[in-house]
Amino acid sequence: MRLRALIIEDAESDAELVALELRRSGGDVEIRVVDSIPALRSALAEPWDVVLSDWSLPGFTALEVLPVVRELASETPVIIVSGTISEELAVATMRAGAHDFVFKDRLSRLPLAVEREIRDAKLRAAGRRAELEVRASAERYRQLFESSPLPMWVYDIETLRILTVNEAAIRRYGYTRDEFLRLSLADLRPPDDHAKLRADVAKRSDHPAIWRHRTKRGDELAVEITAHDLAFEGRPARLVLANDVTERQRLEEQLRQSQKMEAIGRLAGGVAHDFNNILCVIMSYSETLLDTLEPGEMRDDIEQIRNAGTRGAALTRQLLMFNRQQLLDPRVLDLNEVLTDLSKMTQRLLREDIELTLIADPALGQVRADQGSLEQLVVNLVVNARDAMPTGGKLTLETSNVTLDPAYAHDHLGVTPGRYVMIRVTDTGIGMDAATQARIFEPFFTTKERGRGTGLGLSTVFGIVQQNHGHIWVESRPGGGATFRIYLPRIDAATTPIRQRRRPPTLYGNETILLVEDDDQVRAVALAILKKFGYVVIAARDGDEAQRTCEAHPHRIHLLLTDVVMPGITGPELARRLQRIRPDMKVLCMSGYTDEVDPGDAALDAEIEYLQKPFTMEALSMRVRRVIDGERGAEPGAS
């Protein structure tokens, strides 16, 4: 074993005796002798296994040596080698940091003392390194704990008291560190969760669980909790990582609601499609019968059938509005003008105990929308507000320009940031709870008693807003009234004047019409109506038959009258195909359900006009006459 020993001794003979004793034990021994403090400092620049110091040297004692060694070589053991020393000095020297004493007349003990102190020094050094590593590791974990972006804390499993907490938890929950450390888990949970708190803690699962928490100011959070058991300062404890999923749950709920509304809408649209074809047949044949019957009981019965069909048509129209399938005639509108013109009618819808106020922004921008559907939207909201104020109140219609920023769009699923015109409808009625608000736009959902309303009023509002590329949000609480905010995209354009329509001088004609309809009964009804008004009609049940007829017919075909949704091809697609054969042929599409049609068809193809199903005899004949005569721009479904 190699040994490096630094000897502090002024007597050369004594130093030689010490060196001799160390070499006698065997091994490679390197000795250096110094006799002053400066020389000691210089020698300690190198590593030594042991320092052997005489007690008394010229000008200093071992008590001056020990601080120098502690300063420059704290891990190196110091053994005092002295001829005589009192017990008091020995105690003082040991307290000052000496590790052992060997008297010069007993130098045979020195090798063992050196070996023992070197071994103990190595153990002490290893212990200190381990302690430093533990402290460094603890500091690393403390920094990870404190710098975690997610709230974390440790709590006592027995008392549920918070033992330590990180900065993220302090920020998210709003407590100071001292306040947090005075809390227990119960203080973080809503009062109605306290009863099951112990059960939740006892479950102990490796899988995250969702708990409800409350912040200092009372906000409720949905928190995904991941926990790990550990010992903290000798006590059984649990480390908790709390991931706030409140926003995620809110967005998931909005997505579920959106998907539910989409599914309901598709169902409603499909029902409306089939029902519209049935209504076409009922209404058309009842009108035909009314034309042939004299006044009497039978005529009254047929009129009731027609009236029922008309009510059914209104119902399907509302369903199509909800599913964004109603044919629209969008134009540039000033909503202030629309609401001002509408206010007289809405006032008649209200009782005398309801005060109506219109607040119009004089700098309001324009929107591109269908005026009729927007008027329907306002009327439905006014009626809804009226029914929510059975003992009277105030109803306010307000318009303003707003800009929805990305932060708002983030909090409201489906909203695109940008400039909007807002219509705000506010009432002072009975209000709604959160459960009601979650369902108010569903078709047929109503809180009214049986026999009052169809449950389609607000679902129609929802569909109109969606079809006009807008957004709607409601705020309400029980007893606190309700506010509906409708946002429609704002544009910079001049308003479009309303086209004045005149009734054609005659609904009769002798032109040739190619009728394409896959529903046998609807095709028969339309064929009978057109023939009644003098037209030559060629009927086809699908696109292929229509194309063969178009290619083979020897004379001019003035008008293609086609259903929009048919097996294998849509009406607009068929029209474009047949117009390549007969460019001068005009087109009128009948639509009861447009979900399968490219939304851009109507806008991109200026040669196609639309008629909404179910249609009356007069509506069909008038629209056919207008299209053949070249008079364009009729409102969908107008008669």
Higher pLDDT, 206 or 419: 419
Q: How many CB atoms lie within 10 A of CB 217?
A: 7
Higher pLDDT, 325 or 557: 557
CA distances from 516 to 513, 563, 588, 619 (A): 10, 6, 11, 18
Cross-strand pairs, 78:
51
Average pLDDT over residues 310-321: 64
> In one letter, which amino acid is 245?
V
Q: How many CB atoms lie within 10 A of CB 509?
A: 20
Give the separation between CA 18 and CA 28, rounded to whole angstroms. Answer: 15
CA distances from 177 to 154, 170, 233, 236 (A): 13, 6, 19, 22
Domain map (residue ranges) of the chain: 2-125, 148-244, 260-322, 331-491, 512-629
Average pLDDT over residues 395-408: 92
Higher pLDDT, 367 or 256: 367
Q: Answer yes or no: are the C-beta atoms of 5 and 50 closer than 8 Å.
A: yes
Task: Describe the crossing of helices 12-24 and 110-147 by its angle, rounded to 10 degrees.
Answer: 80
Query: Where in 344-481 does DSSP place strands (E)?
Result: 354-359, 366-369, 393-404, 418-427, 471-476
Look at residue 255 and tell me whether its pLDDT is greater than 80.
Answer: no
DSSP secondary structure string for all residues of 175-194: --HHHHTT-BHHHHS-GGGG
C-alpha torsion 374→378→380→382, nearest 10: 180
Q: Model confidence at 37, in pLDDT bands (50, 70, 90)?
A: very high
The CATH classification number of 331-491 equals 3.30.565.10
Start-end of H helices in 431-519: 434-437, 457-467
Q: Answer yes or no: are the C-beta atoms of 161 and 186 closer than 8 Å.
A: no
* Contact partners, residue 625, CB within 8 Å, separation at least 6: 504, 506, 507, 508, 509
Look at residue 602 and tell me whether its pLDDT is greater than 50.
Answer: no
* 3 state DSSP class of 555: coil
93-114 pLDDT, tens digit per residue, is: 888 888 888 888 888 888 888 8
Look at residue 326 and tell me whether its pLDDT is greater than 70.
Answer: no
Q: Which residue has the tokens 């920094």?
A: 143
Predicted local confidence at residue 495, as pLDDT: 72
Predicted local confidence at residue 424, as pLDDT: 94
Give the separation between CA 560 and CA 638, rounded to whole angstroms. Answer: 19
Higher pLDDT, 449 or 527: 527
Query: Which of 516, 514, 554, 551 is closest to 536 using CA atoms?
Result: 514
Average pLDDT over residues 412-419: 84
Predicted local confidence at residue 638, as pLDDT: 34
Which of these CATH numbers, 3.30.390.50, 3.40.50.2300, 3.40.190.10, 1.10.540.10, describes 2-125? Answer: 3.40.50.2300
Look at residue 583 and tell me whether its pLDDT is greater than 50.
Answer: yes
Query: Where in 13-158 does DSSP place strands (E)?
Result: 28-34, 50-53, 56-57, 60-61, 78-82, 100-103, 152-156
Give the separation between CA 499 and CA 631, rounded to whole angstroms. Answer: 11
Q: Answer yes or no: are the C-beta atoms of 48 and 6 closer than 8 Å.
A: yes
* Contact partners, residue 623, CB within 8 Å, separation at least 6: 588, 609, 611, 615, 634, 638, 639
Predicted local confidence at residue 316, as pLDDT: 66
Cα–chain center distance at 297: 61
Query: Which of 15, 77, 79, 88 is closest to 53 using CA atoms?
Result: 79
For the chain, the average pLDDT equals: 83
Start-end of H helices in 424-567: 434-437, 457-467, 520-532, 543-552
Look at residue 254 and tell me whether its pLDDT is greater than 70.
Answer: no
Q: How many CB atoms lie within 10 A of CB 56?
A: 16
Domains 148-244 and 331-491 in one fold: no
Q: Which residue has the tokens 């001049």?
A: 494
Predicted local confidence at residue 401, as pLDDT: 94
* 3 state DSSP class of 107: helix
Q: Is the peptide bond before 614 cis (omega within 30 degrees of 0)?
A: yes
Look at residue 174 and tell me whether its pLDDT is greater than 70.
Answer: yes
Give the separation between CA 470 and CA 481, rounded to whole angstroms. Answer: 23
Give the separation between CA 412 and CA 403, rounded to whole angstroms. Answer: 14
Predicted local confidence at residue 330, as pLDDT: 75
* 3 state DSSP class of 494: coil
Give the separation between CA 53 and CA 379, rounded to whole angstroms. Answer: 106
Predicted local confidence at residue 114, as pLDDT: 86
Residue 64 main-chain phi, psi, to 5 deg: -85, -25
Report the CATH superfamily, name and number, of domain 512-629: Response regulator (3.40.50.2300)
* 3 state DSSP class of 132: helix
Higher pLDDT, 192 or 176: 176
Residue 393 main-chain phi, psi, to 5 deg: 160, -160
Higher pLDDT, 446 or 367: 367
Q: Answer yes or no: are the C-beta atoms of 323 and 269 closer than 8 Å.
A: yes
Q: Model confidence at 258, in pLDDT bands (50, 70, 90)?
A: low
Task: Describe the crossing of helices 297-322 and 457-467 by its angle, rounded to 10 degrees.
Answer: 50
> Which token pair is 622?
């008038």
Q: What is the DSSP letter of 428?
A: -
Q: Check the CA dihedral 158-164-168-170 and report its sign.
A: positive
Which of these CATH numbers, 2.60.40.10, 3.60.70.12, 3.30.413.10, 3.30.450.20, describes 148-244? Answer: 3.30.450.20
Predicted local confidence at residue 498, as pLDDT: 58
Q: State the pTM of this model.
A: 0.48
Predicted local confidence at residue 607, as pLDDT: 58
Give the separation between CA 51 and CA 234, rounded to whole angstroms. Answer: 40
Residue 614 main-chain phi, psi, to 5 deg: -80, 145
Give the separation between CA 31 and CA 22, rounded to whole angstroms. Answer: 9
Give the separation between CA 463 and CA 302, rounded to whole angstroms. Answer: 33
Predicted local confidence at residue 594, as pLDDT: 47
Q: Answer yes or no: are the C-beta atoms of 385 and 344 closer than 8 Å.
A: no
511-557 pLDDT, tens digit per residue, is: 999 999 988 888 998 998 899 899 999 999 999 999 999 999 999 99
Predicted local confidence at residue 595, as pLDDT: 44
Q: Answer yes or no: are the C-beta atoms of 456 and 379 closer than 8 Å.
A: no
